[in-house]
Structure 1
Amino acid sequence: MSVIIALLVLSVLIFFHELGHFLAARFFGVKVEVFSIGFGKKLFTKKIGDTLWSISTIPLGGYVKMKGQDDSDPTKVSYDSDSYTTKKPWQRIVILLAGPFANFFTAFVLYFAVSQIGTHLSPVFNYAKYMPATIGSFAPDSPAKEAGLDINDTIVQINHIKIKDWENIGEAIQTADHTLSLTVIRDGALMNFDFSPVIQTQKNKFGEDIQRKLIGVGPLVNQEKLHFSLLEGIQFAWNETLYASMLIFQSVEKLITGAIGADKLGGILTIVDVTAQASNIGIVALFLFTALISVNLGVLNLLPIPALDGGHIIFNLYEWIRGKAPNEAAMYYMTVTGWGILISLMLLGLYNDINRLFG
């Protein structure tokens, strides 16, 4: 049952992505010939207006086929007034951006829903931002403990930097040069402590070894659910959508530069597996993972690979700036190359999935 839920979640995210393209295309008067969820043999079709809506056998993707636009062969164009080809480059760019935007917006809505349902602190989102700057534990040989800090001390300032949450503590410590000057509240009174952090090698969220300044303290974890007002929920949803986007952009950058090994690349099996596990935990966990996957789809589709939205955006930017479309032969070969890159990445992800899940 959990696998079915995972596939349904993936299909819904793909639907919203393609719906973004569809609505933008129709807004600019482009005829949409096919709106398909899935690939392969069509299980269900219905003609509504000029568009054939379909659900196909393999629910691992989808597409919107616009008149005058064909990803498999960019030389197949139409010069009718309702064709994608005849629209201005900036209009085509808006149509292309609408798909990823729909994914980001879907993630925003899911994060907002989580904020209103209520959630426990979780590494699935930027939880340090929602922890109070109150000390709940000390590491062995903690410089902070040796300096005289105690459990339940609330840190309000580090080196004249105001501290509002636990995330601020790490940021302030890393920017300090040598000695730290901490101001804490203890039993309603302000107290000051001066000491030096230690420098240790740690793994960051991408598994890289980095040098970090540490004072050896842990947060006081509140086991109660986080609840947000309407306005706070909107801020939470914005922060988490932005945080997830930056995280995925950084991950892609590190994969490209080799900072993260290619064996860390996950594929469709990992997505289905993790989503299925989240569905077993509860609705909040499912919403959080679905939001993360939605942002992932949005970011990956913006990559400047010719077969993706990002690659088409580059082509249209070129036409907008130069005043003429790119050479058709060059577009064709770049698109074929883009499909080759995508298929290779999908196969690599599948290979890694099999090793991870069954190896």
Structure 2
Amino acid sequence: MLSILSAIVVLGILIFVHELGHFIFAKLFRVGVEKFSLGFGPKLLGKQIGETEYLISAFPLGGYVKMVGEGADSELSEEEKARSFAEKHPLQRIAIVAAGPSFNLLFAWFVFIVVFMVGVPSATTKIGEVVKDKPAARAGIAAGDVITSVNGKNVTRWEEMAAQIAASKGASLVIEIKRGDAVKTFRLMPETRTGKNLFGETVTSPVIGVVASSETVIDRFGPGEAFVKGSAQAWNVVKLTALSLVKIVERAVPLDTIGGPIMIAKMAGQQAEAGGVSFLAFMALLSVNLGVLNLLPIPILDGGHLVFYLWELVFRRPVSPRAREIAQQIGLALLIGLMVLAFYNDIARYIVGQG
């Protein structure tokens, strides 16, 4: 139940943010908005405020903003044409369409800043285990030692220590530790470990054979530093998301890693149980994914519409209705195929238990 509720909260917020971007920019350019819906399909709840009907619909895996002139079956009056999305300059239509995914990216950026202000858990440099017959064990480093510097650079967090070892590129290391009240210095040569990265590619890295203890601290940052760290984190997640898509196309990342609603629900529940900060970070991560995916140049998605309007802007004429119809049919087929794959992977992973 927690997983379902958490997923509804996450998806509801992210869909609202996305559609709010379209809505605000439509209003900014004086485009009439007939409907603002969270979800697709049959209406569950609705309220008319001014010209706009605000809806909660049955299927929560998306939403839409219906603007004047979209899918009109009859001729528009002159007044309606003035407020029609289709009659606006291509640059204004581009701004309205791009606002949805842009709001998702901006929202993720804001949430990451908040996360760093609230506080993130970080592992200290206290060693929980020293692997037998590895460089650290041979040098005399022991479980319970606290690493204080690597090659003369002070470290207080495990991530900092690991980064210094990686930066050595396998060269000799001078490691200073604190053992009780004593300070000891060790010189050792890391060994190379071969493993897999996030994309399943083989990578090598220098290691010394130590495992972090369970000791953590909460790092909180002021607004300025949180802004810098949150901005860096948001940008890193955007790059990682884009790179993941490239790796999927290259088949470096297997298709069975793609997840759907069940996977989102499971992860949302796990992050909610882990605490508010984990839940916020997960929501920001999902918001980046939603923003980047919607910018892909696939008809039906926002990115596909942007391609149409850029074509019109450059060549001074709209894409022909027939070409647009064919492109949208292809886009719909791709989207349905992706959804079927995601559902199949979810069923295999969580229900059949093959994943």
TM-score normalised over the length of structure 1: 0.82
Which of 232, 246, 264 aligns to 2:225? It is 232
Whole-Å separation in 1 of the counterparts to 2:47 and 2:298: 32
Whole-Å separation in 2 of the counterparts to 1:286 and 1:152: 30
Whole-Å separation in 2 of the counterparts to 1:188 and 1:320: 70
Specify every segment of 5 or more residues in structure 1 that has no aligned partner in the other structure, as ranges: 122-130
Q: Does 1:323 align with 2:316?
A: yes
Superposition pairs for residues 134-153 of structure 1, below 5 Å?
137-147=129-139, 151-153=145-147
Deviation at 1:317, TM superposition (A): 2.4
Deviates more, 1:101-110 or 1:24-33: 101-110
Compared CA separation, residues 178 and 290, structure 1 to 2 (3 A): closer
Q: Which residue of 1 aligns with 2:171?
A: 179
Which of 324, 337, 350 aligns to 1:357? It is 350
8 A contact 1:301–1:309 mirrored in 2: yes
Whole-Å separation in 2 of the counterparts to 1:177 and 1:118: 32
For 2:301, give the aligned amino acid.
Answer: L
8 A contact 2:169–2:206 mirrored in 1: no
> What secondary structure, in the 3-state scheme, does the structure 1 residue paired with 2:253 have?
coil
Q: Does 1:37 align with 2:29?
A: no
8 A contact 1:157–1:163 mirrored in 2: no
Superposition pairs for residues 169-318 of structure 1, below 5 Å?
170=162, 173-174=165-166, 179-182=171-174, 184=176, 193=187, 195=189, 197-219=190-212, 222-318=215-311
Over the matched positions of the two proteins, sequence identity in percent amounts to 37
Deviates more, 1:236-245 or 1:339-348: 236-245
Per-residue displacement from partner, 1:307-329 (whole Å, max 9, x unpaired)? 11111222222233333323332
8 A contact 2:194–2:202 mirrored in 1: yes
TM-score normalised over the length of structure 2: 0.83
8 A contact 1:148–1:193 mirrored in 2: no
Whole-Å separation in 2 of the counterparts to 1:143 and 1:259: 32
Compared CA separation, residues 132 and 235, structure 1 to 2 (3 A): farther
Which of 321, 329, 334 aligns to 1:336? It is 329
Whole-Å separation in 2 of the counterparts to 1:92 and 1:180: 58
Q: Which residue of 2 aligns with 1:128?
A: none
8 A contact 1:173–1:180 mirrored in 2: no
For 2:43, give the aligned amino acid.
Answer: K
Specify every segment of 5 or more residues in structure 2 that has no aligned partner in the other structure, as ranges: none
Whole-Å separation in 2 of the counterparts to 1:113 and 1:286: 12
Aligned residues: CA RMSD: 3.2
Q: Which residue of 2 aligns with 1:4?
A: 5
